[in-house]
Structure 1
Amino acid sequence: MGDLIRVSDAEMKVMEKVWEKGEMITVSELISMLTKEEKEGIWIYQKVATFLTRLEKKGMVSKTKKDKLVYYYPLISREQYNEDAAKELVNTRFGGSLKGFLTAFSKNNMSKKEIEEVKEWINHFNHQ
């Protein structure tokens, strides 16, 4: 995709539910999903609709009308968004150095399983 699309924490909570649904979703369905997860915070129609409008302007979602209901759907996958976010993190915080990024994690005592997963990932690129 390229440049990371900036979203607020609240917009990301809404976006996560859009991705979780995996298909078109209404504002009412989103409110139901959001309120089940969070006891605190009031997810009202206007608030969620505003976040969706912002996400639409940012190119994260689009909408369609069907049977008098407005449905929203993602324009970017969770995987693509996370890939863009990871690339930006490595580029901005670690000067583009994947080694620097991995070194930061190794200071937090990676588990043996995580170390093996990184080794497998590296080996994948060595055999291409």
Structure 2
Amino acid sequence: MAKFQSLSDSEMAVMKVIWRSPHPVTSSELLKVFSESKGWKSQTISTFLSRLTEKGMLKVVKKGAANYYQVAVTQEEYRKQETQSFLENIHGGSVQSFIATLYDLNDITPEDIEELKHWLDKR
């Protein structure tokens, strides 16, 4: 991916389905999933697939008349880039600031702190 771009909630929903798929997917396969759960139409799916391709998240392979979409960025690669972007943009790159915010919000438990200590000790 050339320049990192975060995904919208809808783009993320599409990517989660594609990441879970053991093979490249077609827009028809995605339509089956999202027409029931979200009421999306074919054009909506096409729009998201185009955006995800432009963002470098997907590659398109044409087979006959069908386009098959395959992962260009793994879920782990995306998670790393999204986390780095979040830390830089929201916390100025400071992990301490991030953890302090979680602590101040009571979103981090003593068990979490112990788990972090053990993880850091292993590093």
**TM-score normalised to the size of structure 1?**
0.81
State which drifts further: 49-58 or 112-121: 112-121
- Give me the whole-angstrom Cα distance separating, in 1, the residues matched to 2:111 and 2:96: 19
CA displacement at 1:24 relative to structure 2: 0.4
| Residue 60 of structure 1, aligned match among 57, 62, 67 | 57
Q: Which residue of 2 aligns with 1:116?
A: 114
Query: What is the alpha-carbon root mean square deviation over aligned residues?
Result: 2.1
* Cα distance, 1:5–1:22 mapped onto 2, change above 3 Å: farther
| Residue 77 of structure 2, aligned match among 80, 84, 99 | 80
How many residue pairs get aligned? The number is 122
Report SS of the residue matched to 1:62: strand
Instruction: After superposition, give the CA deviation of every residue in 1:42-84 in whole Å (9 maximum; x if it has no partner).
Output: 2111110111011111111011122532210110011111111
Report SS of the residue matched to 2:69: strand
Percent sequence identity is: 31
User: For structure 2, which runs of at least 5 residues remain unmatched after alignment?
Assistant: none
